[in-house]
Every structure is written in structure tokens, then in C-alpha cells.
Amino acid sequence: MSYDLLEAVLPKSAALQSPQADHSQKPQHPWPSALAVVKVSADLVHQPVALELAVSALYRRVAAGQKLLVLVFAFGQDGGMRKSLEQTAMAAFLTQCDLVGLSVRGLKVDQPSDVTDDVLAGALAMADVVIAEGATGAWPMGHPDLDVVSLSARAETLEKPLRVAVAGCGVVGGGVVRRLLAEPGRYSLVGVQVRDLSKDRDMAIDPALWVDNREALLALQPDVVVDALADGDEGYALTREALWRGVAVVSANKQALSRDLDRLQALASTAGTRLAYRAAVGGGTPMLEYLDRWCRLEGRTVVRLEGIINGTTNFVLSQMQSGQSFDTAVNAARRAGLAEADPSDDLNGVDAAAKLRLLAWQAFGKAGAAIRAEPVPFDPAAVAAKPGTRQVAVCERDGTKLRAFIRIEPVSDPVFLRCADEQNALRVVFDDGQVHHVLGRGAGRRPTTESVMADLYDLSCAGSAPVQGRM
């Protein structure tokens, strides 16, 4: 059975129905302008697929720029049982949100009276998602235009499920395949491209769906191809061929995209199809989505991008600076699903340079696609001797030109210093002097799969469009 999260947008007046709300007596408070209150049932934690989809719905809202106050209700329960169920469900939501890379905090209080406006505002200032028990009566009073949403799981089958072919079945591709199989009412998995057909992958997939080349994959007539290949050349060839045929592409392959993103976007436009790639940068961190909104939709001008954008390297650096040897740190990254058998492209900045080109294209337009940042050799001995070392990618305006580079050196910025393990952080500086940060998990199966699924969800919804980038 496929579950879809029904998002029922409640009337604005519903925001006034909190037992604590008295807008005639309360002053206006500095809540985030894009704030939504999301009501969920504690019963979702007993339905693993439904819980995962609920978190996906939260992820999509955060990626679209909203702050969320999630209230977990144990409907039909009273007293201590209600509180216990809500606390258990709250813990499950916190864990799942963290796994996909959302910035999340729990609001646990003993008495409803402890939830003051200042407490709520402070929590929302520190995280994109704040989760509280429904019994607390937490409610942002005085918000001028509150978006109130109720999530409830229900079985659903779309009239025409999206036909999806997946190229690659490694860390990311395998995660995407698993999610597609869990939602047969929304997606139809029509094929999976792998390098070795004889390898046992322990997946409940019709053997006829396995193929070993892009021609066979495209012959299955998918609506969209997911590029989760590790090979940049093969991914680029697949993406060009699919777009030329009018097949949409959702790509997590930054090496393929960074070869000539401008040409690929033009090809998608000419063919009347879509190229979406939020998973290619930042894992579950919505870096491209935020840049798209700031630059294309709001018309703001970026003067500098600076960030930790390779989760694998940051994980290795964090492990080494906690006393682990280089080999031990790399092996730990592999066990965590963060590193390939050969992590050289991650460690030497090749991967970060490719991601930087995609970010620069989003921030600076076509000129950004032409930047080239040279790789920087990774010296384990030097890294171990310098606490606070991070791999940082930079692209900035230098007069009428763009300057881009990768560096591995100690940092003093507190945001970057707090960026541990696979965490990513991007600092965006605008021409008016304002600075914004985007933070989250930058590597791993779950957060990157979530980004891919967000693009696929957009494609499956009539009238929705994934991030297209600047044209």
C-alpha cells in the first residue's frame, strides 16, 4: 500500500482557536514571516512509511523557505497517557528530521504555561523545525498571516503514477529505489541501470527491470530519469540523451552537471522538459533552493559564496581532529556510507569544485558556469597538526570577474567551526552587506535521497516545478 501525506490547509481562523490565543490582548511578535504550524498525529510513528513521508513533507516546506512549528497530538487520549504518547512520537520525529538533515529542535516543557512567546520565538530562531507536544498548547500568537496545516496518512494511488528509471544503484541510487518501491501509487519504477548485472543486490525487483546501459534504460520509456551514477562522463551522456528525447532528468551527479550546465539547461528548455538537481549539492541541505529564491525570485545580488560543501571530507577531518588516524577516519566514512572506495576526489577538492560551479551558476548566472577552482592536495599530516582545519570552497566577485578557489586550512568562523562530521554550511554575502547561512547534512544516503525524492515529488504533482535555476 502506498501512503501519501494529505496536507489539509486549515482556514486562517484556525490559528485563532488555540486555547491560549487572545489577540485582543497580545502585541505583535517578531515571528518568521514564512511560518507554518503543522499538526500531526502521534499514530504516524507506528507506520514507518507514513512517518518517513511526513518528514519528507516537512523537508519540502523547509526547502521552500518556511519555518515550521510541528505539534504532535495523541488524539483520543487524556492525561498521562496522552503526554507519554506525544513525547514518544516527538522523539521519533526529531530522530527522522535529523536523519534527513533538517535543522530541528524539540520543545519539551512540564506545564503549558512554560511555553511563552519568547520561548517559541527563541526556538524558531535556532532551528528550521521546532517540534512540541500538542498538549503543551504551544502557539505563535500575534502572527499576522499564519499558515496552518494538518498532515494525516492515507492510502493513495495517482491516476497516472510517474514512470521513473534510475541510473546507478549505489548509496544514493539504492536509497531512491527503496523509496520508489515504497510508494507504488505515486511512482512506477520501470528500470534500474547498473554496471554488473550478475551482482546480488538483495532487492525485491523484477529481474527484467535491471539493465546495464543507458540505451536500454531509455528504451523503457520513462517519464523521468534519476542520474545517481558515480561516473561524470556516463552521467553527462545519459542526461544529454534523456533531455534530447524529452525525458525529464533528476540528477545527483554533480560531476556530470558541472561539465556544461548551461548547455544542459538550454537543451531541457528546447525539448520542453525539466532538469532538476537539488541533490547534486549539499545532500539534504537546500543550498540551491535558497540561492534560487534569493537570486532569481527576489532579484538579490550575491557578491561572495563561501562554504563547507563536501560532507565526506568534513567527516574525515572531524574524525582526524578527534584523534583518529587518516586510514581509520576514511574507513569510518566508508562504513557510514559517506565515502567511495577511492575518496580522492572528495579529499582533494575535485568534488567541491564541481559543486561550487553549480552554486556559482545559481548565484551569478551563466558566468558562474565558467569558473574553475583548482584541486588542493590533502595532506593528512598537516591536517592532523592544525586544529579547526576545514575544506572551504569560495567564489567571489573580483571587479567584473569571478574568482574561485578551494582551500584546506584552519578556520575561525564559528559557523564553520561548529560544522562537524558530514555537516555542510554555506555563507552567502549580498551586495547590501547582508549575510545568510544555510546549514545541514551534506552527505549520506538518507539526506541525498530526500533531495532526489523532493524533485520527483514536484514532477509528480501537476503544476509543480523543481528548482530550474537562473536562465
Residue 289 backbone phi and psi in degrees, to 5? -65, -40
**C-alpha cell of residue 323:** 584523534
For this structure, is 355 an active site residue?
A: yes
**C-alpha cell of residue 104:** 530541528
Angle formed at CA 105 by CA 98 and CA 424, multiple of 5 degrees: 45
Q: Are 362 and 254 in contact (CB under 8 A)?
A: no
**C-alpha cell of residue 55:** 518528514
- Catalytically annotated residue among 355, 366, 386, 401: 355
| Residue 170: other Cβ atoms inside 10 A | 15
Rounded to an integer, what distance in angstroms lies between the CA atom of residue 313 and that of residue 20? 48
**What length does the chain have?**
471
* Among 430, 462, 440, 467, residue whose Cα is nearest residue 452: 467
Rounded to an integer, what distance in angstroms lies between the CA atom of residue 55 and that of residue 416? 26
- For residue 347, the one-letter residue type is L
Per DSSP, the three-state class of 89 is helix
Q: Which residues pair with 440 in a beta bridge?
A: 424
DSSP 265-330: HHHHHHHT--EE-GGGSSTTS-HHHHHIIIIIIS---EEEEEEE--HHHHHHHHHHHTT--HHHHH
Q: Which residues are catalytic?
A: 355
